[in-house]
Structure 1
Amino acid sequence: MGGSVGLVTAATWTFAALVGVYLMARWLAGGGLRRQAAKVTRFPTTLIIAHPALALSSLGCWTAHLVTGSPPLAWAAFGGVSAAALLGFAMSTRWLGSGRHERGARGVPRLALALHAAAGVATFVLVLLGAGAGRVL
C-alpha cells in the first residue's frame, strides 16, 4: 500500500487513540470502576484494559509495518484492531444501551464516543485494505 495511505491510516488510528484517551479520562474522573453501582452496568476490568491495550499494541505493529514493509506485521495489526473493535463495540453497546444499562449512559460525551467509533471503523477498513494490498497487487 502506498506510503501516504499508510500514513493516513496511522493518523486516523492516532486520532481514535487520542479521543479514546479523552473518553478514558472522563470515565476515570467520574469515578471509573468505583462508581459502577449496579452489577449489570459494570464494565469488566479486563474489557477496560484489553480494548486500549490491543489497539495501541496493534498501532505499534502498524508503525513497524510502515517502517519495515513487512506484510505479517500488517496482518498482526489487523488482527489486533479487529479484536479491539469487537471489544469497543461491546463497551459502546453497554454504555449507550437502554433498559438496565441506561444508567451507565449518564454523562457520556456522545460526540466524543461517535468520533472515536467513526475513527475506529475507518481505521479498521484502512488497515484491512493496507494489509490486503500486498496480496492484491
Structure 2
Amino acid sequence: MDIAALVAWVVTALGGFVLLARWIARGGLRQQQTGTTRFPAPVVFGHFLLAAAGLVVWIVYLAADRSALAWTSFGILVAVALLGFTMFVRWVPVYRTAPPAAGEETTPAERHLPVPVVAAHGLLGAATLVLVLLAALGVGGS
C-alpha cells in the first residue's frame, strides 16, 4: 500500500507540474494584477508547495516507518486536496464559458488547462489520498 501511494503521488505530481507550467505560460501570474485569472497565486503555489512537502514527508515515512509521519503526510494531503478542490470549483465556470475570440487578452490562464490532465490529476489525487489513509491505518501491511 505504501509504494502504491508513492507511485500515485508521483504520477499526480507530474500532472500537477503540467498544469502549473501551462497556467504560468498562459499568463496566470501576470493576470494576478488585472484580476483576469480566477486562481489566486497563493492558492496555486500553496497547493504545489504543500503537495511537495507532503511527498517528502511520505518518502521519509517510507524510510523510517514511523506511523506519525504517515499521519502527518495524510494531514498535509487533506490540505492539498482542499486547495485543489477550491481551484477545481473556480476552474469549472471558466471552462464552461464560450471559447475566447482569437487573440483576446481577457482570457483567464486556466481556460487553457487540458481537460484530460485536470481530470486525471484530480482522480489520481483522490486515489492518493485514499491510499495514504489506508497505509496510515496499516491496511495492506507496511
How many pairs were matched up?
130
Q: Please list, as runs of the form range in 1=range in 2, the aligned pairs for 1:1-137 lying within 5 A after superposition.
A: 5-35=1-31, 39=35, 41-97=37-93, 102=97, 104=108, 106-133=111-138
CA contact (8 A) 1:41 1:94 kept: no
Shift of 1:15: 0.3
* Alignment-mate amino acid for residue 122 of structure 1: A
TM-score of the aligned structures, taking structure 1 as reference length: 0.85
Query: Separation in 2 of the partners of 1:26 and 1:122?
Result: 23
Q: 1:49-84 CA distances to partner (integer Å, 9 max, x unpaired)?
A: 110111110011111111111000000000000000
2:20 counterpart SS class: helix
Shift of 1:35: 3.1
Choose between structure 1 and 2 for higher RCO, CA contacts under 8 A separated by at least 6 residues.
Answer: 2
RMSD: 2.3
5+ residue gaps, structure 2, are: 98-106
Q: 1:102-123 CA distances to partner (integer Å, 9 max, x unpaired)?
A: 4645222000000100110000
1:32 counterpart SS class: coil
Structure 1 residues 25, 40: closer, same or farther in 2, change over 3 A? closer
Shift of 1:38: 6.0
Shift of 1:11: 0.5
Shift of 1:43: 1.9
Query: Separation in 2 of the partners of 1:107 and 1:66?
Result: 36
| Structure with greater helix percent | 1
